[in-house]
């Protein structure tokens, strides 16, 4: 079946005059017959070489007709749709993006495995922002308000979204979260996704960037195993680097693997605990925020 125009085997499309691309035409034609008449049809086509022609051909139908084809009610027909399955999510994400743009809010979707240190990084980040500009957090977890409580303890506004059995946030949940929390105008909205390196990759929330967080207690081959997430992220933050002296973890190999999946991904290395590398992260945030403020 041709994905450009929707014609193809079984397709009951009558208007067929604007075909100017190459493909096979095994068409099925559906006709309504009232009796055993012989009759003529013409089917004009334009082929890849630009020639248009028609094939007049006669059919002799000797049906003793008590059945129908094609457009008759009750008959099967093929309908061309060609829509993304997540079109609805993507449409809501576009609305979110528009609202965030209008409020000059930078939004970041933080994604990682469970236990990578996302919340610890956020807590340390919010302390360092220290009210210099507005920052708030949407927390996604299957259960509990523990993470939102940790964030609120820093003084930053936060709202918890419990996804229950769901393994990721979707755009509609974030829309609800945004409307209840209010947007930090001229500031940053952090969206901490459910700890899961698979599913959140496919669900656009309306964020400016996905930021994938990997701790040094995980494997260097994570980017290869969970490639979708690394492909979708603008930045990889390597956390818990204070533990490196105790581990056989090759940071360069992790970075090579990430760049194999996504040649343009940015990389930062830090420890929220020791503070090493935090300055670079804060600088990245301020630069991304400045870009948001400077552009429509």
Partner 1 sequence: MHEVSLANALIELVREQAVAAKASRVTRLVLEIGTLSHVDAHALRFAVDVAARGGPAEGAAVDILEPEGTAYCLDCETSVAIAARGALCPHCGGAKLLVQGGDEMRLKEMEVV
Residues that bind partner 1 (CB under 8 A): 1, 3, 6, 10, 74-89, 165-168, 170, 198-199, 201-203, 223-224, 227-228, 231, 256-257, 259-261, 263
Output the smallest distance, CB 227 to partner 1, in A.
Answer: 4
Task: For partner 1, give the closer residue by CB, 188 or 258.
Answer: 258
Instruction: Kindly tell me which of 87 and 294 has the beta carbon lying closer to partner 1.
Output: 87
Paired strand residues for 110:
192, 211
Residue 157 or 166 having the CB closest to partner 1: 166
The distance of closest approach from Cβ of residue 217 to partner 1 in the complex, given in angstroms and rounded to an integer, is 22
Long-range contacts of 225-231 (CB under 8 A, 24+ apart): 225/197, 226/197, 226/198, 226/201, 227/261, 228/198, 228/201, 228/202, 229/111, 229/197, 229/198, 229/200, 229/201, 230/258, 230/261, 230/262, 230/265, 231/201, 231/261, 231/262
- Whether the Cβ atoms of residue 61 and residue 172 lie closer than 8 Å to each other: no
Q: Judged by CB, which is closer to partner 1: 94, or 224?
A: 224
Q: Nearest distance from residue 32's CB to partner 1, in Å?
A: 16
Give the shortest CB-262-to-partner 1 separation in angstroms: 9
Q: Are 210 and 216 in contact (CB under 8 A)?
A: no
Q: What residues form DSSP beta bridges with 267?
A: 236
Give the strand pairing for 52-54 and 44-46. Answer: antiparallel
Identity of the residue, 191 or 261, whose beta carbon is nearer to partner 1 in the bound complex: 261
Smallest distance from partner 1 to CB 250, Å = 16
């Amino acid at each position: 079946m041709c994905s450009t125009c929707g014609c193809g085997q079984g397709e009951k499309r009558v208007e067929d005059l604007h075909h100017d691309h190459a493909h096979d035409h095994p068409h099925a034609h559906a006709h309504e017959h009232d009796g055993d008449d012989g009759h003529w049809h013409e089917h004009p086509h334009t082929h890849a070489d630009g020639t248009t022609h028609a094939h007049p051909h006669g059919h002799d139908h000797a049906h003793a007709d008590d059945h129908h084809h094609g457009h008759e009610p009750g008959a099967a027909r093929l309908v061309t749709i060609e829509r993304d399955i997540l079109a609805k999510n993507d449409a809501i994400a576009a609305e979110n993006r528009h609202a965030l743009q209008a409020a000059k809010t930078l939004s970041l979707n933080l994604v990682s495995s469970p236990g990578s240190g996302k919340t610890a990084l956020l807590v340390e980040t919010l302390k360092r922002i220290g009210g210099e500009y507005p920052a708030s957090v949407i927390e996604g977890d299957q259960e509990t308000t523990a993470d939102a409580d940790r964030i609120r303890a820093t003084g930053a506004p936060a709202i918890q979204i419990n996804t229950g059995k769901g393994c990721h946030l979707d755009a509609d949940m974030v829309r609800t979260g945004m409307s209840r929390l209010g947007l930090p105008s001229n500031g940053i909205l952090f969206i901490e996704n459910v700890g899961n390196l698979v599913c959140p990759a496919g669900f656009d929330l309306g964020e400016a960037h996905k930021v994938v967080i990997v701790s040094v207690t995980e494997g260097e081959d994570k980017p290869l195993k969970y490639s979708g997430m690394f492909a979708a992220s603008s930045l990889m933050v390597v956390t818990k680097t204070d533990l490196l002296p105790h581990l056989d973890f090759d940071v360069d190999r992790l970075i090579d693997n990430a760049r194999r999946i996504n040649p343009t991904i940015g990389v930062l290395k830090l420890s929220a605990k020791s503070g090493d590398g935090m300055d670079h992260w804060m600088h990245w945030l301020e630069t991304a925020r400045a870009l948001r403020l400077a552009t429509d």
